[in-house]
A and B are shown apart, each in its own frame.
Chain A
């Protein structure tokens, strides 16, 4: 008996002509998951307006099965961090992420969610949500167009489609020792503490060319 996935292509085609479809259970499962991604219904700044535009009739995110914006993190698969994350808001964003059930994904939408954007050197804006939670897809732009959000969603769908649950390359969240939830930062006297989660993100090293 051949292992699943290594079925002869000719035999598979012949069977499908006869009305018998042979797929791996993993593929079927991923196919179902990728076509019903439920995003968490929350927006932080102007990028959220573009996210709303993407969900309306003109761009219509429901073509990709992601129109069910859930108001509760318990029912959501995808967190779209759409906008500026202030330091005051960061603990709540991390807490919402912790409250989402696995499997869960994060899209960082726009310059602010990726790096702090134009507010990076300010006193009250987080320099990127990837300091606390793992980000799957980042969308550059200020703000990104709805098409860019759709592109990110399709990118995420491709990733979900190729996810493995066993074998040599399982999904990162299934790895042994992967954290179930991420530490929520505290609001300190001048900054949030810690300023980043070293297990998720490390500051880039300065390379001097002198």
Chain B
């Protein structure tokens, strides 16, 4: 398998206008992945499948990831003039990363026995710009998995021929695998609740007023 940098350069040369980014993975065991802009994702996917050195003919897994908005605080040193003397101060800088959703494709080659290449598509945000390109025309096996992602995460796949909910029913509101999904309060009594279930129990049965 060729290095990811080389693969990326060849893909960019093959598909004019495509912007690919190598996304490192914080986990040491996991290989880095290739992020592609949704506008050129389909062309890049055809390249990955048909290129004689890659022949990535099998999408083993398609999944969604929800990245909610995060605010990280970082310490930074700032120089300021105080009474005519330059002094250094430590300040806390808030970094806000807007939320987005991702569709992740794990690609293997059955023909050349190689892989995986991990392909990511990112949406603009979590509410309105949630459309990415469907890769079902390239890998037919992605059809149900893209439907599942649409169902559970709310990513819309442009070019999918049958984009309906898969696990939940038509008329269901919300996307249950999103981190901010609020499930209905349907807890009922269990003799030994623990952990998250205990928390649910406390919310469902508020403590009686002290008498």
Write the residues of chain A forming the contact surface with B, with a CB cutoff of 8 angstroms.
Answer: 86-88, 121, 123-124, 127, 187-191, 195, 203-206, 208, 210
Contacts and interface: CB of A to CB of B under 8 A. Distances in A.
A127 B189 contact: no
B28 interface: no
The A interface is mostly helix, strand or loop, or mixed, namely loop
B183 A88 contact: no
B141 interface: no
Contacts of A210: 208
Contact of A206 (B171, B197, B200, B205): B205
Interface in B168-192: 168-174, 176, 181, 183-184, 186-189
A188 B172 CA distance: 7
B189 A189 contact: no
Contacts of B189: 203-206
B188 A127 contact: yes
Nearest to A121: B197
A190 B188 contact: no
A50 to B, nearest CB: 24
A125 to B, nearest CB: 11
Contact of B188 (A124, A189, A204, A208): A204
B196 A189 contact: no
Contacts of A88: 167-169
Contacts of B169: 87-88, 187
Contacts of A208: 208
B173 A123 contact: no
Contacts of A195: 186
Contacts of B188: 127, 203-204
A189 B181 CA distance: 13
15 contacts: A121-B197, A121-B200, A123-B176, A123-B181, A124-B168, A187-B169, A187-B170, A187-B171, A187-B172, A189-B172, A190-B172, A190-B173, A190-B174, A191-B184, A205-B189
A123 B176 CA distance: 7
Nearest to A196: B188
Contacts of A121: 187, 196-197, 200
B194 to A, nearest CB: 11
Contacts of A191: 184, 186
A160 to B, nearest CB: 31
Contacts of B197: 121
B183 A189 contact: no
A98 B105 CA distance: 44
Given A123-B176, A124-B176, A127-B188, 12 more contacts: A88-B167, A88-B168, A187-B169, A187-B172, A189-B173, A190-B172, A190-B183, A191-B184, A203-B188, A205-B189, A208-B208, A210-B208
A203 B184 CA distance: 16
B97 to A, nearest CB: 27
B171 A189 contact: yes
Q: Which of B170, B172, B183 has the most CB of A within 10 A?
A: B172
A190 B184 contact: yes
A189 B172 CA distance: 5
A121 B203 CA distance: 14
